[in-house]
Amino acid sequence: MITDECLRPPVLRPGDTVMLVSPSGPTRPERVARGVELLTGWGLRPVLAPNAYARRGYLAGDDALRAADLNTAFADPEVRGVICTRGGYGAQRVVDLIDMVAVRRDPKVVAGFSDITALQFALWRGARLAGVHGPGAAWLDERLPLRSAESLHAALMTTEPVTVAATPDEETFAVRVPGRAVGPLLGGNLCLITASIGTPDMPDLTGAVLLIEEVQEPPYKVDRMLTHLRRAGVLDGVAGVAVGQFTECADGWDTTVTDVLTECLGDLGVPVLGGLPVGHGVGQLTVPVGTRATLDADAGTLTVSPAVR
């Protein structure tokens, strides 16, 4: 049973050091340089983890290196925030190596999305640490306009609640079941949620508002993942479902990803709100995860308590 209790790290303030880590896939220096510029403009002091640019095939270096960078960030009292450079793949391979004692002793805000969902789940399991689902430091201006930067800044450097409104510009806007739900917001990338089933990190979502988003998965694969969640009992007892961006999720069949989401979520008997600009799409906005959320499908809004204090 999910409760509203969570560990909130301190809000980031000008002058704070944030460490840029790569727990998943390899990244490119020119993309990270733009993120460094952005963070510096907010008055933060971004520093690269020792192995931030490491590479081993599709991984940002060996598992031991990626885990070491995370533990270095969590253990260093000078580091006040941990910003993941990108997602990709690989976080699940290192989460069991995280020093949760250090995380609980000196909680820090962790920001990222996509494959970082696995890291957020692990930190929730090991420390009940609230986090931030938002863009990483490998910044791409073409996908992340000013409003995306402002949204991440607000989630990291203010203690105001975050409200995201559904927008007709999003493909999933038509996915909606009326009603209002309240509970901790948990979830993120649908692939990673599904891959967490059967692991210690899969939370009991009873009473929670589930956040889902995805990229480059055709409708039949989205159907497969949601059906798996249903058959595994993961969706039993959820308070509501917040549907973010399902970006480039199309194939040659007539059935759309909106059709799939409506069919697989529409009969759960809980409020469902699609059209939220949260995920891999253009204009991605940031939301806290692990904190109390109000999903109002009638008003078309998701309001989330801050991840920081």
Residues belonging to the active site: 114, 213, 280
Q: ∠ CA(204), CA(210), CA(213), 5° rounding?
A: 130
Alpha-helical runs (H) found in the chain: 29-41, 63-75, 100-105, 117-127, 146-157, 190-195, 219-231, 257-265
Q: Which pair of structure tokens corresponds to residue 146?
A: 């000013």
Q: Angle at the Cα of 123 (from 86 to 101), degrees rounded to 5? A: 120
Q: In whole angstroms, give the CA distance from residue 51 to residue 21.
A: 8
Structure tokens at 53: 């640019």
- The torsion angles phi and psi of 45, rounded to 5 degrees, stand at -115, 85
CB of 24 closer than 8 Å to CB of 54: no
